[in-house]
Structure 1
């Protein structure tokens, strides 16, 4: 049963794990490597990062029979068909972009930046007063935290994409809301897991590589980022037609001996002349942020992809798979085991809790890292020296247990150990609450909800084993004890305390998709229908309120049209029937277009010709929300009509056909009158 049609929430879940909860790998390529790839692709405007970025999606750009083995904390090995990663610029470059965005907002016209003169910056005195504020005389501008995305930019981008586009655009909206490379102290998903230096064997020497690494390590990283957790790795590319593999292996061993770094070798044929049929077209817009897309549009770059020879394409896919299996996953697993043994397990034990309090109260060690942590906390924490939270700049120091455990939970999400991640988030959430680190509390509450729902919707790798439906007590606890209170708290914190409403928007749309996913997997839409509708309506209202102030010349909103479509999908997919009775619904859908059966008139019996016939859905009436679904689709069509987008309107007619059918008998139907919404929309198409 595929009515109404819309984006499968399982696809949304897959995109969520790829675009948001996957390891971020930062790349730094030498100029010689950029020149080589420009020559290979015959494109002088392309960079090495743009070449590698789409290949991070190894679910799409895969190799035959690829498998990724992950050992979780319970020492159970699971095999996954894909393990997506995100390629981004090096961390210094990402931080410079963040600081540039923050500096551009100093004029005061933007509310995206957290500064000491604005309400979002935390101070100890303000916490004692129960409000968020900072001293204007402190002279410290605080840690810059920007919005995840610009709402007006998102609307502008969707308007550009919607032109002459008759496809469902909800996935585009979802991807752009969850895709970000912004570095923040309170979540580590955008903190690089590995730093890759890409060099060319012919033109780059070990000394050049050493200089790149030294310059990188000497960068003044934020105090919440632990560079010791970063795995530095080398990619070596070489011309297969000029050098033998023995020479490259010898060069790789020399790097290992002198720099103590592992290498992955990419053999390529630089001057291979292939026909158009021997080349693959690779997307250039994979995992792009809104700003990157708008920049591409403003520069009138019409090419959404690049051509690359099949041999080089296979080499990149194969070697990246080797890098992930041999180096990246083992590095992350080793770190998680280390943090679990040193930080988490002692914290869980009663003895560990006692000694952790003792260390905070009576610590007199000479460790420079610990001293810096404590001095920073005491200096900025005012009358609360027992907290390791820096109240002035809103972060925990990189070596503090609170920051390490947050990274432990985030990395567990990346390795798909959702239950372990949830339990870790719950533990550190209490510490954040005790320290009144509200931005950390809100972010951790978000991840408590997300990790719990990801665990509930995780598909069993063995298709013969059916996942049991959660009982009502479990569902009641998830809804009333976790989702409801956590969503209320984090929305208040992000919107009112921190003025970071886009973080709240992202949380709501993620929770909506995971709840839809849970509803369809277990056929329990009756449990989540109202909550999904509430969050979608909040999103639509908040977006509309913001756009009304910045786009006064327009009387329509593409975001509103797309969200109304999702409201219609949610209502249409809400079936209040037991799974074993779904066949009744199928009979209803397939029997709508049948001609009316002629009633046999019995002799002497009076037949009322004006009597309405028995509806086809008599057995399921009251168990569906098709009329409400059609209403939301009509409201969406109204927005598309105001934007003069006929292709989107025509696409949505199929989703209201069950309630407002198009046949000979419906020509004179009330809903086709010109003064009704549907009739008015149909007239605009003529």
Structure 2
């Protein structure tokens, strides 16, 4: 008899019971399985007997951001009445957060974008502090406890721009990370020998998984791959959670919310942006400050603080040479309320202020670990900005089945109040003033000299060694006569170089949301990077210049969008993809540009879709990312307003078309719930057209849509175990679990049940040998026999076969008029 923990077996904690409360089930389906017909009952029993047919209830909190009933688009952790809110409301919303009604939805791409490019604060703690954090249930260190509090600074934060104008922000955030982690090595220039001094230190190289000091880590490929793997597991969990509900093909979703952001797309975008590493070509992940932490358990605190400072500056924790070392140091003393004397800690704190200045803080925490049963404990929210590799490792732990422990951790309310006060005080009194002062100094001393005609002439004279020189720029590359600050052997600018200083100025202005100053600085840097042939720097400057224009709330003309924004995005995409082969940068550029163009509405939506199709044609994303992008293109077209109504000069048919293309791709990956949702959106869109018949007059299109619906119905009805694993050859599909244990047959099972399961498996094996299907490529009104005869891809491995054969789905411009 299988043992279950009380929390897992109770109806209160079972996510399947929560799903049943939100899915409209017809009366005949809501009846118990024993009361069903013999055929239906055997299928339901077979689903329960298959391995991993039901998900681990203890892992529900890990999937709370995407767990929602079929047919619903709202999947935010604080969304509208979704099961994720019911299951994990205490996890994601507690006294730590006090959201304002004026805030955009957390799953909004604009909110995600502003939350990605924020100040990064390193944490460097002593050994005694790490032991105290481990006693509180955080074995990774104190930064793990601080991280959720930095993602939302309590209260309003006032920031001044370069013109001295103050404005208040209620969504300002910072990111805590371990000093020396998530560092990406630079890209040396091809053909130029790499100098040993330009490589990373050994301790820094260890912080980048899979990298070594001698070679560049494939960071971009790792981030994209891990992000898709995370989404694949979320999708698989949704399919498994719904498997216990029975006949999902008979569900009738009521009122699906169209035009909202898919939770899987939001999570995909968030995991991509959380993978921004500390690299030479952009300084967003470079530390603006470092918290040096000791605890009251330390026997020699002042000496330890000096030692930690020396290690972070010139010791084993020193950052690579292309990161500015003169960042703010903030000293923190953690007092253990349960073991140490507060009078001694206060005396030590006063001594710290005398030695190290005013950038100090006394953080009072309880040394024991909070528990769910404690009256004064609250759940600590899981970080929304953990990296894709970190979340993937956490999700893989759920493969252990019932041995998996609930990842929710609890802290005392007094600790939450103390940390919230500490983060606000540090940000408002130290971090922001330091950044504002740096922006003012760099702008006056460096950037102002470069603006205007005189500054450009001086820059040319400095770079070319005077006018009239006969040597060409190409002959000067790599020679000692060149005055460029770009280290081509190492692939970076030194921190004291004017180009590096201006890049920090632009990034600081962007993080402080001074969009005009950020754009003007990025625009100055573009020509410098192009002259030095620092192509990754050039791509990043073009990318952020375009984003700065689009982030500015002021309206832009179509001429500006065409002649400036499109050119900047084109230059960034080309440099990332062709010159640097940086897949991550190319994907990030297009997705951010597409989202910001979509928010401007009007004709900008057509430009947004054009960039999305450009990314699809580049085949830079994996199969899951491409389907999510197709869904997003449907949302883009669905949000375009017509001239006099939503139909005249609108894009409703094109929105439905991309939903159908997304449904077909979901079916190829055997994600039947997502395919059903896309088909529901397409049908609803067609039903809203002035012509009530929709596409019923187009025979080929109607037959194709009916075929997709039939495939979806069959996929939802068959046993879910066959949907996730290849049982014949033992090859796992994407997102499958690492192993599947064989289970013995149920003694109470009937022969009818076995025959039906075998019949369903037989139908699945015959699918790759079906006859050729009607294609979307045919002309409107053409008979079925005259349409193109590309063979139907199999349900398993369809994406892989496409990659091997070099085929891909046609872009929107090549599809016939059957769907719009």
Q: What TM-score, normalized to structure 2?
A: 0.62
After superposition, residues 455-534 of structure 1 pair within 5 angstroms as 455-456=552-553, 470=555, 474-519=556-601, 524=602, 527-534=603-610
After superposition, the C-alpha distances for 1:99-121 in whole angstroms (9 at most, x for unaligned) are: 6xxxxxxxxxxxxx84xxxxxx4
In structure 2, the CA distance between the partners of 1:380 and 1:310, relative to structure 1 (3 Å rule), is farther
From 263, 266, 270, give the equivalent of 1:171.
Answer: 266
> Which of the residues 254, 259, 275 maps onto 1:180?
275
Between stretches 207-216 and 175-184, larger displacement belongs to 175-184
Deviation at 1:442, TM superposition (A): 1.2
Aligned partners of 1:672 and 1:678 also within 8 Å: no
Question: How far apart are residue 403 of structure 1 and its match?
Answer: 0.8
Partner of 1:53: 147
Distance 1:272 1:88, change over 3 A: closer
Counterpart in the other structure of 2:631: 565
SS of residue in 1 equivalent to 2:384: coil
Q: What pairs up with 1:419-458 in 2 under 5 angstroms? A: 419-456=516-553
8 Å CA contact 1:285–1:304 kept in 2: the answer is: no
1:75 aligns with 2:164: yes
CA distance in 1, matches of 2:284, 2:497: 18
Match of 1:324 in 2: 427
Q: Distance in 2 between matches of 1:540 and 1:635?
A: 12
What secondary structure is seen at the aligned counterpart in 1 of 2:177? strand
Distance of 1:296 and 1:272 partners within structure 2: 21
1:412 corresponds to 2:509: yes
> Contact (CA 8 Å) 2:379, 2:411: kept in 1 or not?
yes
Match of 1:134 in 2: 191
Alignment deviations for residues 491-516 of structure 1 (CA, whole Å, 9 cap, x no partner): 22212211112211111001111111
Alignment of 1:346-385 (within 5 A): 346-348=449-451, 352-353=455-456, 381-382=478-479, 385=482
1:248 is the counterpart of 2:305: no
Tell me the SS of whatever aligns to 1:658: helix
Q: Which residue of 2 aligns with 1:161?
A: 234
Matched length = 558
Task: Report SS of the residue matched to 2:710.
Answer: helix
1:642 aligns with 668
Residue number in structure 2 paired with 1:218? 314
Out of 617, 621, 626, which is 1:541 matched to? Answer: 617
Match of 1:280 among 352, 362, 378: 378
CA 1:400 to 1:136, structure 2 compared with 1: closer, same or farther past 3 Å? closer
* Correspondence 1:101-116 to 2 at 5 A: 114=187
Provide the C-alpha distance between the structure 2 equivalents of 1:441 and 1:68, rounded to a whole number of angstroms.
33
When the two structures are superposed, what TM-score results if normalisation uses the length of structure 1?
0.74
Q: What is the CA distance between 1:386 and its match in structure 2?
A: 2.2
Q: 1:682 and 1:216 mapped to 2: Cα distance? A: 57
Question: Structure 1 stretches of 5 or more lacking a match?
Answer: 100-112, 115-120, 123-132, 364-377, 457-466, 548-556, 586-619
What SS does the corresponding residue of 1:624 show, helix, strand or coil? coil
Deviations 1:423-478 (A, max 9, x none): 1111222222233322221110011101111113xxxxxxxxxx7xx3xxx42233
How far residue 542 of structure 1 moved from its aligned partner, in angstroms, is 3.3
5 Å-filtered alignment, 1:14-53, equals 14-19=111-116, 21-41=117-137, 45-53=139-147
**What is the distance in 1 between the residues matched to 2:346 and 2:633?**
57
Query: Corresponding residue for 1:372?
Result: none
**Measured at CA, do residues 530 and 302 of structure 1 come closer, stay the same or move farther in structure 2, by a change above 3 Å?**
farther
Question: Which of residues 626, 650, 658 is equivalent to 1:632?
Answer: 658
Task: Specify the SS of the correspondent of 1:164.
Answer: helix
* Cα separation, 2, equivalents of 1:380 and 1:141: 18
- CA 1:270–1:634 in 2, change beyond 3 Å: closer, same or farther? same
Query: Could you say what secondary structure the match of 1:281 adopts?
Result: strand
Residue 635 and residue 302 in structure 1: after superposition, are their counterparts in 2 closer, same or farther (change >3 A)? farther
Q: Please say if residues 264 and 628 of structure 2, whose CA atoms lie closer than 8 Å, have aligned partners that are also in contact.
A: yes
2-side partners of 1:400 and 1:575: how far apart? 48
Alpha-carbon offset, residue 299 of structure 1: 4.2
CA contact (8 A) 2:107 2:266 kept: no
Contact 1:397/1:403 (8 A) holds in 2 = yes
Aligned residue in 1 for 2:177: 88
Change (3 A) 1:538 1:6: farther
SS of corresponding position for 1:266: strand
2:284 aligned counterpart, secondary structure: coil
Asked if the contact 2:128/2:297 (under 8 Å) is kept, the reply is no
